[in-house]
Every structure is written in structure tokens, then in C-alpha cells.
Structure 1
Amino acid sequence: MLNRPYTDVDCRHEAARQYAEILRAPDLAEVGDEMQPQPIASTVGDGPGETATWIGLSGEEFHDARNEIRELLATAPDLSRWAVDLGANHLTSTTELAWGNGGWDLGIQIAHRPGVADELHEALVKAIGGAVGVVLGNRGLDCPRIT
């Protein structure tokens, strides 16, 4: 594990935030510059004055984080149409399921309209997860559920 003051999840969070900003402002001059005053997600709520911001990193740490975020943005699939379709159908992304064996081999997002009963949502997530587990098992694939 790398010794750094932010997590991979922090980089994903910031990349997703910037991706949304880029969609709203495609003339954004430099990906990464806008992140400087933003909090590092994993530090929010740690205590008074303990929330770290990206600009608070050392020069090398900030440079490395910015490069990692740029790479995440560069390799992110274009889900614009999917996102627009979700919104047009008044659906909300609610649950991520993932299976893998050292990497992200399979991921499923479950979306539904607001107001679906919790019991129905839980039953659907369980059924979908179970079905994927059966298919992977029947194919002899060792990909345990990771979320």
C-alpha cells in the first residue's frame, strides 16, 4: 500500500466531481487546477480543523494526485447517454454491485425511481447478486462479490 495522505476512493470521488464539472463547463481550462480548494473526501468530518484540501498536499503529492485523477478521467467510459436516460426516466442510481479477483472484473449499477419500497429494493439487489453469483460459479470463475 502506498503511503500517501489520500485514498484511491478520494481520487475517484474527485474525478467524478470534476467529470460532472467538465460536463457542465466543457471549457474548463486545466483539469486539476479547480480541485485545489476542494476537501479530500476521506478527511471530511474527522474533527474540527482536520479536513484536508488538495492544495494542502506537498507539491509532489498534489502532482501525483492530479495525474491519477487525470488518468481516471481519461479512462472513464462516456456514460453521458446512460446518465441522461436515467434522469429522463426519473431514475436514481442507488446500488453498486461488483465482483472481482484482484481487479474490477464485473460491475452492475441498479437504478430505480424514488419511492421504491426498501424491501423491494433489497430483494432485487439480493436476487441480482445471487443470479450473477450463480452464472460466475457455473462458468468456474472465481470472482467473489466485493461490494
Structure 2
Amino acid sequence: MPDKPYTDNDLCAEAARQHAALTEDPEFMCVGEQMADGIVESTREDGAPRNWDSVLRLNADDYEQFDVVQRQVHDLVTRAADLSKWAVNLGADGLDPISGNLNIKDSGGEDRVRIHFAFAPDMDQATRREIVDRIADAIRHHS
């Protein structure tokens, strides 16, 4: 009889299920609460990061613009692809996803395929870039 009545795969499956459930139907008000103090990434570029609250509320009573953006963020979260199993398995394998990806476009310039990469944390940046470049070259040569 095994030491435990479940496997590591069972743990990953349950973690993926819970991860997906967290994003399946986020509470609209919670999205706004989390946004208020979150930094608007594009404001980092000028060296003066600002949060959503300061960017969108021109005065203390102006919630209209904030509400519009809150709805857009909520819609993006609820329409996001369920990558829970992929994300949990990356963590279980100790791999770190990189922020970049490889996009393959059709003749009209529309994205048709997007490949995301994750690497072992000890893999150097040059090797990571070389792997992505080689995959991109192979796709270009066989398309």
C-alpha cells in the first residue's frame, strides 16, 4: 500500500482546478480594489510610477473613468485562456516562464500561433535567447 492515497499528479490537478476557479468569475468590486493601488506599467517609463487611482480619478468624486477601465480589466480576466494546468506544472517542474514569446503571423499580419517559453532558473540569458532564436529560424524555414 502506498504511503499516501494520492499522487503528485493529483496535487497538481487540484492546484490547477483551484487556480482556474480563482479567475473563472472574479468579483467585480475586488478587481477595482486591487487596481486602485496597482501601478500603471507605462508610467514607470518616465521614472514617476503612478497607480490607477491617481491616473484615472481626476478628483475624489470622479469614478466614471475608473469604472470604465475596471470593467475592461474585469472582462480581460474573465476572457483569459485557462492556463492553470500549464502554470501549475511549470511551478512543479521548477521552470520560470519568460515574459517574451514567439508569435507566428499569417500573410495578413494576424497572429496565428503564440509560443511561450519557460526555462530552468539556472539557464543563462544567452542560452535562452539562442533556443528561442533557433526555434524561430526552424519555423521560418519550414513555413
TM-score by length of 1: 0.63
**Does residue 51 of structure 2 align to residue 53 of structure 1?**
yes
Residues in 2 aligned to 1:68 and 1:74: alpha-carbon distance in whole angstroms: 10
Question: What is the one-letter code of the residue matched to 1:84?
Answer: V
CA distance 1:126–1:46, shift in 2 (3 Å): same
Which of residues 88, 93, 100 in structure 2 aligns to 1:89? 93
* Structure 2: stretches of 5+ with no match in the other structure: 1-18, 58-62
**Displacement, 1:112?**
1.3
1:99 and 2:104 matched: yes
Normalised to the residue count of structure 2, the TM-score between the two structures is: 0.64
How far 1:106 moved relative to its partner?
Answer: 1.6
Give the letter aligned to residue 98 of structure 1.
N
Question: Whole-Å Cα distance in 1 between the matches of residues 123 and 137 of structure 2?
Answer: 20
Question: Secondary structure of 1:32's match?
Answer: helix
* Structure 2 CA distance for aligned equivalents of residues 55 and 103 of structure 1: 34
Alignment match, 1:15: none
Q: 2:60 is matched with which residue?
A: none
Give the percent of matched residue pairs that are identical in Structure 1 and Structure 2.
Answer: 28
CA distance 1:68–1:132, change in 2 (3 Å): farther
Q: Note closer, same or farther for the CA distance 1:87–1:43 as it changes in structure 2 (3 Å cut).
A: same
Between the aligned partners of 1:69 and 1:92, the Cα distance in structure 2 is 25
**Residue matched to 2:121:** 114
SS, match of residue 117 in structure 2: strand
> Greater CA radius of gyration, 1 or 2?
2
Which deviates the most, 57-66 or 83-92?
57-66
> 1:122 is matched by which residue type in structure 2?
R
SS in 1 for 2:123: coil
